[in-house]
């Protein structure tokens, strides 16, 4: 279910594409997702630092391919993550 504020932003996407992956709507109106969206998100959050700068040089097709690879294997990769609360970082 789309949030009411997201609906007008995502109307141009086919319904199947809306739910196929996550999407980020940029201030200029572009809609990005998958690996390309991750690069844009890191850049906008300004906490990506070196990683965000490095990803600026990676072609979109390669980023999206890496995203699809991880998405296809998320069940196997999930087994590598401990099933317990993460570390507490803030008091």
What are 65-85's pLDDT values in tens digits? 998 999 899 889 988 888 888
Mean pLDDT of the chain: 84
pTM score: 0.65
Q: Quick check: is 43 in a domain? A: yes
Has residue 61 been placed in a domain?
A: yes
- Please indicate, yes or no, if residue 2 is contained in any of the structural domains: no
Higher pLDDT, 19 or 74: 74
> What is the end-to-end Cα distance of the chain in Å, rounded?
35
Residue 25, H or E segment: strand 23-25
Domain extent at residue 25: 11-78
Q: Is residue 83 part of a domain?
A: no
Q: Is residue 87 part of a domain?
A: no
What's the total number of domains in the chain? 1
């Amino acid at each position: 279910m789309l949030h009411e504020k997201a609906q007008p932003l995502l109307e141009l996407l086919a319904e199947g594409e809306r739910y196929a992956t996550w999407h980020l709507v940029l201030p200029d109106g572009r809609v990005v997702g998958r690996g390309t969206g991750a690069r844009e998100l890191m850049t906008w959050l300004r906490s990506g630092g070196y990683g965000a700068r490095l990803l600026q040089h990676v072609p979109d097709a390669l980023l999206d391919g890496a995203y699809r690879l991880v998405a296809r294997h998320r069940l196997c990769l999930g087994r590598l993550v401990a099933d317990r609360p993460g570390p507490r970082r803030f008091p």
